[in-house]
Amino acid sequence: MGSESVPASISRRDLLRMIGVAGGSALMYQAMSNLGFAAESTYRRPPPLQGTGKGTVLILGAGLAGLVAAYELGKAGYKVQVLEYNARAGGRNWTLRGGDTYTELGGHTQHCEFDKGLYFNPGPWRIPYHHTGVIDYCHQFGVQLEPFVQVNHNAYMHSPDAFGGKPQRLRAVQADWHGGIAELLAKATGKGGLDDTVSKEDREILLESLRQFGGLNKDFRYTTGRESSEHRGYAKEPGGGPDGKPGLSQPVGISEILKSGLWKQLGVSELYEYQTTLMQPIGGMDAIGKAFVRELGPQVIRYNSKVTAIAQDDRGVTVTYEDTGKPGVAQQAKADWCVCTIPLSILSQIPIQVSAEKSAAISAVPYLSSAKVGLQFKRRFWEEDDRIYGGISTTDTPIGMIGYPSHGIGSKKGVLLGAYAFFMEAYEFTSLDPATRIAKAVEFGSLIHPQYKTEYENGMTVAWHRVPSTMGCFGWWTDEAREQHYANLCSMDGRIVLAGEHASYLPAWQEGAITSSLAAIDQLHRRAVAGGAA
């Protein structure tokens, strides 16, 4: 394509969409972090709210933002009431197990048939070590955490158009990529190509570091030998006895790696949000939401409550809602204050009495599409046959990736994350009925693991634009939208304040919901102590 065809500028959102289409979800994640979607958490455990909280607070939504608000305001002395659309708390903090039933928009109902002890997290499934808010509440409430394996060098990288469609081990692709780059740089260094930038001593140190980094031999070449096999793995594993000598593997040249496109899937694990260590609650992500519910007590949350209107005046807030089991019968709840954590994809459809600026902010943020599929298999063939224990295999087919469970290693059965799709692939998955989504996940997964065809038992799928309480995965901000609307979205409007991952610089993460909630209730409490709405 000629330079005249390249636009002078392009929005970050359009750029990421194109990256997602061209390079798959792994590369899209990398670009998201590089372009500022992954920010460091600002969480510090908050001191008790100063002064005694007096009055009542309505909290709309029992996701993590709503649960944090209810817990902290309740501790401060406020009388809190939570209205939650679903029959459970947690919002996107959600785990599906055998016996669960889920009905999506469009009326398709799925009945989970997972064996006892097996589960699938259709929402968040990992917690980075620096998401200190989530971890702190887990510690406070006794939610036990275990390691989540993000990177497994024995997992696969796959493209139907590369290496004859044969999956390649991550370690081999990464070693060949590093080795090829190191050899090229070593050649440039040895020829004096860096004389203008480094001293002779530095050049010698650089060459030695390139040898170690890239698995180069004594001549600074990346070729068949012990050095390269120590990085990419052996053709025959070292063993004991007379036949214990290892067989050296044959590296792939950098030209073939470049042509394969698999390099696009490298590097995600080096990004801040995915660096070791990551964690998960033992038994399922919903352990966090359940712990909040236990701390709040049985009377705080009113489930099956669909909010239909939000009004306020200088005396308080009135919320109109329906019992989802008795639609059409309007009920009302009143309070002095309101913390609204309803996703903007839903809130933008509800009449709410706020300023024109806040109303514009609520309508300004679309939600990214995403779809997941959980698959149960008769045996853990990825462990038994392929020696993959946790981690992620990536593919540029529509399923995006396969996630292997980090827990239950050595058990008879297991549930894989059989698809995690974004962008165009997610829209395609969302348009399909659940059974077809699952069949597609099995079909594409079989290209990496042929065992799918004989070992598959059952599955569950969640396409987030079909989730009635969310209608999307997470708020998809652009720089322009943040500049124009973010401050208005987060500011207190009379007696109403908003919270949720959409009101944070950590979109899609539970940490964003928590930090936004703490900022929101701080505003509310200051206003309440000062004597009322401005």
Token pair 């959600």 is found at: 94
Model confidence pLDDT, tens digit, residues 184-200: 888 887 776 656 666 77
pLDDT given for residue 533 in this prediction: 61
Please give the residue that has the higher pLDDT: either 263 or 40.
Answer: 263
Residue 10 has pLDDT above 90, yes or no: no
Amino acid at 418: G
Phi, psi of 483 (to 5 degrees): -60, -40
**Per-residue pLDDT averaged across 279-295, rounded?**
98
Cα 185 to chain centroid distance, Å, stands at 36
Contact predicate 32/257, CB 8 Å: no
In angstroms, the CA 453 to CA 445 distance is 9
Average pLDDT, the chain: 90
- Per-residue pLDDT band at 1 (split at 50, 70, 90): very low
Least confident of 88-97, 114-123, 190-199: 190-199
- Per-residue pLDDT band at 40 (split at 50, 70, 90): low
Q: At what angle do helices 132-141 and 287-296 cross, to 10 degrees?
A: 60
Residue 260 has pLDDT above 50, yes or no: yes
In this prediction the pTM is 0.88
For residue 145, give the nearest of 344, 288, 18, 289 by alpha carbon. Answer: 288
Beta-sheet strand order (sheet of 56-60): 301-302, 79-83, 56-60, 337-340, 496-498
**Bridge partners of residue 422, in order along the sequence:** 370
The DSSP result for 38-96, as a single string, is S------PPPPPSS---SEEEEE--BHHHHHHHHHHHHTT-EEEEE-SSSSSBTT---E
| End-to-end alpha carbon distance in the chain | 57
Our CA angle for 518, 95, 112, nearest 5°, is: 155
Least confident of 46-55, 299-308, 311-320: 46-55
pLDDT given for residue 43 in this prediction: 80
Beta-carbon contacts of residue 209 (< 8 Å; ≥ 6 apart)? none
Least confident of 85-94, 333-342, 510-519, 525-534: 525-534
Q: What is the percentage of the chain residues whose pLDDT exceeds 70?
A: 90
The winner for highest mean pLDDT among 36-40, 143-147, 196-200 is 143-147
Report all structural domains of the chain as residue ranges with CATH numbers, in order of start. Answer: 56-90+287-365+477-530 (3.50.50.60), 96-154+276-283+368-466 (3.90.660.10), 170-259 (1.20.1440.240)
Dihedral sign for Cα 434, 439, 442, 443, please: negative
Model confidence pLDDT, tens digit, residues 155-179: 999 999 999 999 999 999 999 999 9
In angstroms, the CA 515 to CA 500 distance is 8
Amino acid at 400: G
pLDDT given for residue 188 in this prediction: 82
